[in-house]
Structure 1
Amino acid sequence: MPQTIAMRWIVMLLLLVPLLSQAADPLPSWYNGASREAIEQFVGAVTEQGGKDYVAPAERIAVFDNDGTLWSEQPLYFEVLFALDEVKRLAPQHPEWKTQQPFKAVLEGDQKALAASGMDGMLKIVAATHAGVSTEAFIAQTRSWLAKKVHPKTGKPYTEMVFAPMLELLQYLRENGFRTYIVSGGEVAFMRAFAEEVYGIPPEQVIGTTLDARFQDKNGELTIQRLPKLVHNDDGPGKPVSIDSIIGRRPILAFGNSDGDLQMLQWTMAGPGKRFAGLVHHTDSKREWAYDRDSKVGRLDKALEAARNSNWVVVDMAREWRRVYPFESIQEQ
């Protein structure tokens, strides 16, 4: 009898070892490879008390782009899809849009005319769909849209189209004394509608493109009203400017995925001491998408060259991620 009990315990332990090993792994969605090794070495170096590369917790600032870095961005940026839906929802209040571009193109599904309107057209759409209401009302509408809409390819809610390896990285950094920020070209209130719930990043650590606003007291009802005027475009060189203005400390780690993140990565790496710059390279056409230099969404060209010339970490999604999304199973090593 004792021998039988002992054998059962041995079998149970053998079954538990893999589970215990996975539970102890802070980055289970990452293959053991160059990128994971670089991340772990960096975190170990800057958190080692008494080490030559030690960085005090107050200085452990990590910044992340959002679109294409923390969640997918194809076939269009998700905020653009939101804005296009908002044009259709608000159209009854704006009969002039039936003949006014770029709104006419949106309502008629004319992709060619919409594309021809370019960035100016997109800014008009953003101004019309993101302003004219209070911040609270806009965030509520964003959350309503996110709760109802699903991604056209996967059928999953947009908030499930987040990258499991990056969620793990955010948590891993926080467990090692880092403060994690989003620094994105996305509009700041749009991202604040979901960032804390999805990424664990509170509103005060979300930095993005901003519209003008004004304080309004309407019969004792106090609101911040959003105005159709761009104040700061948080893309490209706008990113280090907003980091300097809002955070007030230079990051020691930065992650992006496109040319719009180049200056943020350069700014991070230009500081003293040990630093980390990473790019998510979309190479997985089966589980996600494969694109870089020729893409109209999330183009990665100059930043890819800079990464290779400067030995930044370039994460090959197809080769280095055991899964892309949280709803997928983890692939074996």
Structure 2
Amino acid sequence: MPCIRQIIAGVVIAGALALASAYTAMADELASWNDGPARKNIVDFVTAVTSQGGPDYVEPAARVAVFDNDGTLWGEQPIYVQLAFVLDRVKALAPEHPEWKDTEPFKSVLVGDIAGVAASGEEGLTQLLGATHAGMNSDDFTKIATDWIATAKHPKTGKPYTSMVYQPMLELIDYLKAHDFKVFIVSGGGIEFMRPWTERIYGIPPENVVGSSIKAKYDVNDGKPAIVRLPQIDFIDDGPGKPVGIYDHIGRRPIAAFGNSDGDFQMLEWTTSGAGRTLGLIVHHDDAEREYAYDRKSPFGRLDRGLSEGPKRGWTIVSMKDDWNEIYPQ
């Protein structure tokens, strides 16, 4: 008959094996993540905040995770996907606006001068957004965005933009959702541009999307109510705007934040300054062979401050080259 000591030892061993088995099962859900500090940090964090009775346990209602979109969930080089949409819209509308061929920033768009478009600055971008995103009702814009994303292809690979999402991040979203996290997109991109397709591509419903927006008004025309889009910027969800957007739209401070650029810095800063266990993670684009390599000097997705300060703040810096064994879905 086993002694008390043997029984206790058996219970301890069984518990340890069960914990190891659970840990392995959770890690297997992140199949595109190589073994290393990045994946370990993710698994350790999720294990800690979901282990009931543990010191870092977080109730499901407070398990909020926020993801940037461009450069974090899908590619942003050689230009942001929404900027490609804007450029295509200008070209499609140009026959109705012959004056554009002599008017900046439209002239630069029509001759393919991306540097000229960039030189127009925020004022030029506002003009382009007003011309391509406004002057229609919300349903019409949703259809235009949905139709475009269904056929638009990346200029380098020739693949649909929607196939150039990051497989490791899709797995991470599913992993968090499986552990009762509420997952949101918090992007500098247009909220109305993203909402038509995020559920199909990421499994994130439109009500869980926070983004930049233009002003709109309610109108009734010929007895038909509609939301009419106006040529004025309403909110920029980038940099310090991201915590404000989270506060306004979500109403809870996240416990996990995922980004890739200095435009995400304040979102990670606000998230990881909260009480209790938190996770801040930055995707570093350092894989020129399978994707792109860029950081401090890039005009799109610039990562400078976050790369320097992130490790000091305890944020996880993910190397696409070393930490991901797959980039895109197979």
TM-score with structure 2 length normalisation?
A: 0.91
- In 2, the alpha carbon distance for the partners of 1:237 and 1:179 equals 22
Is 1:22–1:28's contact at 8 Å kept on the other side of the alignment? no
Cα deviations by residue, 1:64-101 (Å, 9 ceiling, x for unpaired): 00000000000000000010000000112222212211
Is 2:27–2:43's contact at 8 Å kept on the other side of the alignment? no
Task: State, as a whole percentage, how many aligned pairs show the same letter.
Answer: 53
- In 2, the alpha carbon distance for the partners of 1:61 and 1:288 equals 29
- In 2, the alpha carbon distance for the partners of 1:291 and 1:151 equals 18
- In 1, the alpha carbon distance for the partners of 2:316 and 2:300 equals 21
SS in 2 for 1:63: strand
- 1:24 CA displacement: 8.4
1:159 paired to 2:146: no
- 1:113 CA displacement: 2.6
Report the CA distance shift for 1:77/1:157 in structure 2 as closer, same or farther (over 3 A): same
- In 1, the alpha carbon distance for the partners of 2:139 and 2:69 equals 22
Gaps of at least 5 residues in structure 2 are 1-23
Is 2:212–2:237's contact at 8 Å kept on the other side of the alignment? yes
- In 2, the alpha carbon distance for the partners of 1:231 and 1:110 equals 27
Query: 1:273 is aligned with what amino acid?
Result: G
1:306 paired to 2:309: yes
State the match for 1:259 in structure 2: 262
Q: Runs ≥4 in structure 1, deviation > 6 angstroms?
A: 21-24
State the match for 1:53 in structure 2: 56
Matches within 5 A, 1:270-281: 270-281=273-284
- In 2, the alpha carbon distance for the partners of 1:241 and 1:323 equals 34
1:193 paired to 2:207: no
1:82 paired to 2:103: no
Cα deviations by residue, 1:132-164 (Å, 9 ceiling, x for unpaired): 111111111111111222111111100111000
SS in 1 for 2:187: strand
- In 1, the alpha carbon distance for the partners of 2:276 and 2:25 equals 33
- 1:23 CA displacement: 11
Is 1:280–1:317's contact at 8 Å kept on the other side of the alignment? yes
State the match for 2:73 in structure 1: 70
Task: Count how many residue pairs are aligned between Structure 1 and Structure 2.
Answer: 307
State the match for 1:3 in structure 2: none
Is 2:70–2:76's contact at 8 Å kept on the other side of the alignment? yes
Gaps of at least 5 residues in structure 1 are 1-20, 328-333
- 1:112 CA displacement: 3.9
State the match for 1:128 in structure 2: 131
State the match for 1:9 in structure 2: none
Query: 2:118 is aligned with what amino acid?
Result: A
State the match for 1:34 in structure 2: 37
Matches within 5 A, 1:1-333: 25-327=28-330
SS in 2 for 1:126: helix
Is 1:30–1:165's contact at 8 Å kept on the other side of the alignment? yes
Cα deviations by residue, 1:209-262 (Å, 9 ceiling, x for unpaired): 011001111112121111111111000000000111111100000000000000
- In 2, the alpha carbon distance for the partners of 1:279 and 1:111 equals 27
- In 1, the alpha carbon distance for the partners of 2:256 and 2:232 equals 32
SS in 1 for 2:310: helix
- In 2, the alpha carbon distance for the partners of 1:23 and 1:271 equals 25
SS in 2 for 1:87: helix
Report the CA distance shift for 1:125/1:142 in structure 2 as closer, same or farther (over 3 A): same
SS in 2 for 1:80: helix
- 1:311 CA displacement: 2.0
- In 1, the alpha carbon distance for the partners of 2:50 and 2:114 equals 50
Is 2:34–2:325's contact at 8 Å kept on the other side of the alignment? yes
- In 2, the alpha carbon distance for the partners of 1:229 and 1:129 equals 12
SS in 1 for 2:125: helix
- 1:117 CA displacement: 1.2
Query: 2:224 is aligned with what amino acid?
Result: E
More moved, 236-245 vs 127-136: 127-136
